[in-house]
């Protein structure tokens, strides 16, 4: 039997994506196209000129550009096109299930209605399911640099769309905006039937991860790199198998790690944690899922067996039903049996 390379193995294996900001999939070409049709001028003269600005020293420098990019999204069609472009990418990369963050406040604060945003995204996801066979869940994120009142307002706007939104999350500028700031909002979200997740321990300390677990009752931690600073936390995450959604290229581009060879992924796996690989904001960080898998596999010399474990973890950590998880995990085992030589 012909041996396939690790990259081919990665490309072919079925995967789920669990940490993906739809606004972070906004490719410069589509950004220029949508800006043009909305008669909005972009501060950059060309796609290449814009791409040159994608050079970040930390999370905040990225967020400033990310919010500026998202500001050209106005109509339902814009949100549909953005989501559809991502889904076609997902399809090419053998991602069969995706759980997508969206940031309503980034849009409602500019006068775009919640309805416009959710309808555009949701309609594309429906077509993605029908035409591409991609299943999905939506996760509505609160912007943590904004206040509690604004988060409550956003939660209220989401209530009529409960059937389209599975979970709530927390993103944006982490330092100085601990999970405790949103304890009451998350408590209400849980009462309304939403699952909860939160970005924690990307730039913020391990204490923020504890807060996300204890106060926000999260089912997953987004990023969680800093958990390694706290042995007790590592033991807790391992005992409870609380998933971490790790984003290697994001960590590299935002200087959370200085080099992928120093990325903590293997340490976290060796400590028995439930870790997954994700792309975060692929249009800004130089790669979608397969690029994240391939780059980290190369930097850490991961084996096909380790890739198989990561792909299995992606389904195990998802919000799919136990039956659907089981089906996908079995498919991955079969794929591995066929291709692990």
Site for ligand HPA in 114-133 (CB under 6 A): none
Site for ligand HPA in 37-66 (CB under 6 A): 59, 66
Count CB-CB contacts under 10 A for residue 239: 9
Which positions from 179 to 218 touch ligand HPA by CB under 6 A, shown as an x/- string?
--------------------x--x----------------
Count CB-CB contacts under 10 A for residue 195: 19
Q: Dihedral sign for Cα 183, 188, 189, 195, please.
A: positive
- At closest approach, how far in Å is the CB of 73 from ligand HPA? 15
Give catalytic status of residue 202 as yes or no. yes
- At closest approach, how far in Å is the CB of 20 from Zn ion? 8
Asked if residue 21 binds ligand HPA (CB under 6 A), the reply is yes
Nearer to ligand HPA, 120 or 248 (CB): 248
Q: Which does 116 bind (CB under 5 to 8 A by kind): Zn ion, ligand HPA, none?
A: none
- At closest approach, how far in Å is the CB of 21 from Zn ion? 5
Alpha-carbon distance 16 to 99, whole Å?
A: 8
- At closest approach, how far in Å is the CB of 252 from ligand HPA? 12
Strands 195-200 and 167-171: parallel
- At closest approach, how far in Å is the CB of 247 from ligand HPA? 7
Asked if residue 280 binds ligand HPA (CB under 6 A), the reply is yes
Nearer to Zn ion, 99 or 280 (CB): 280
Asked if residue 280 binds Zn ion (CB under 5 A), the reply is yes
Q: Which of 81, 99, 171, 211 binds ligand HPA (CB under 6 A)?
A: 171
Asked if residue 99 binds ligand HPA (CB under 6 A), the reply is no
Asked if residue 24 binds ligand HPA (CB under 6 A), the reply is yes
Instruction: For residue 297, count CB atoms less than 10 angstroms from its CB and return exposed for 0-12, middle for 13-18, buried for 19 or more.
Output: buried
Nearer to ligand HPA, 103 or 309 (CB): 103
- At closest approach, how far in Å is the CB of 134 from ligand HPA? 21
Contact 117, 107 (CB under 8 A): yes
Site for ligand HPA in 226-265 (CB under 6 A): 250
Nearer to Zn ion, 257 or 328 (CB): 257
The active-site residue out of 17, 27, 202, 211 is 202
Asked if residue 281 binds ligand HPA (CB under 6 A), the reply is yes
Number of residues that bind Zn ion (CB under 5 A): 1
Alpha-carbon distance 173 to 261, whole Å?
A: 26
Asked if residue 304 binds ligand HPA (CB under 6 A), the reply is no
Catalytic sites, residue numbers = 202
Residues at the contact surface with Zn ion, assessed by CB under 5 A: 280
Residues at the contact surface with ligand HPA, assessed by CB under 6 A: 21, 24, 59, 66, 171-172, 199, 202, 250, 280-281
């Amino acid at each position: 039997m012909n041996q396939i390379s690790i990259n081919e193995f990665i490309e072919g294996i079925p995967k789920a994506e669990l940490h993906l900001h739809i606004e972070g999939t906004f490719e410069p070409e589509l950004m220029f196209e949508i800006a043009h049709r909305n008669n909005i001028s972009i501060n950059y003269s060309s796609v290449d000129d814009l791409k040159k600005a994608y050079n970040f020293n930390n999370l905040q420098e990225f967020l400033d550009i990310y919010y500026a990019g998202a500001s050209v999204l106005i109509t339902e069609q814009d949100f549909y096109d953005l989501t559809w472009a991502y889904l076609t990418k997902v399809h090419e990369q053998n991602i069969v299930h995706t759980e997508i963050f969206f940031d309503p406040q980034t849009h409602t604060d500019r006068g775009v209605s919640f309805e416009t945003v959710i309808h555009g995204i949701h309609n594309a996801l429906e077509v993605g399911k029908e035409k591409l066979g991609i299943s999905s869940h939506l996760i509505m994120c609160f912007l943590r640099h904004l206040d509690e009142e604004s988060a409550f307002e956003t939660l209220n706007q989401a209530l009529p769309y409960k059937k389209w939104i599975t979970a709530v999350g927390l993103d944006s500028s982490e330092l100085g905006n601990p999970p405790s700031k949103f304890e009451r909002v998350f408590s209400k979200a849980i009462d309304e039937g939403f699952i909860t997740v939160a970005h924690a321990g990307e730039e913020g300390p391990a204490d923020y991860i504890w807060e996300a677990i204890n106060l926000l009752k999260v089912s997953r931690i987004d990023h969680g790199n800093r958990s390694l600073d706290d042995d007790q936390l590592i033991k807790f995450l391992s005992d409870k198998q609380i998933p971490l959604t790790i984003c290697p290229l994001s960590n590299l581009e935002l200087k959370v790690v200085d080099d992928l060879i120093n990325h903590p992924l293997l340490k976290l796996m060796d400590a028995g944690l439930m870790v997954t690989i994700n792309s975060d904001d692929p249009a800004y960080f130089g790669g979608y899922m397969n690029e994240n898998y391939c780059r980290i596999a190369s930097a850490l010399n991961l084996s096909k067996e380790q890739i198989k474990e990561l792909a299995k973890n992606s389904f195990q950590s998802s919000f799919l039903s136990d039956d659907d998880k089981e089906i996908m995990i079995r498919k991955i085992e079969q794929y591995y049996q066929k291709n692990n030589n």
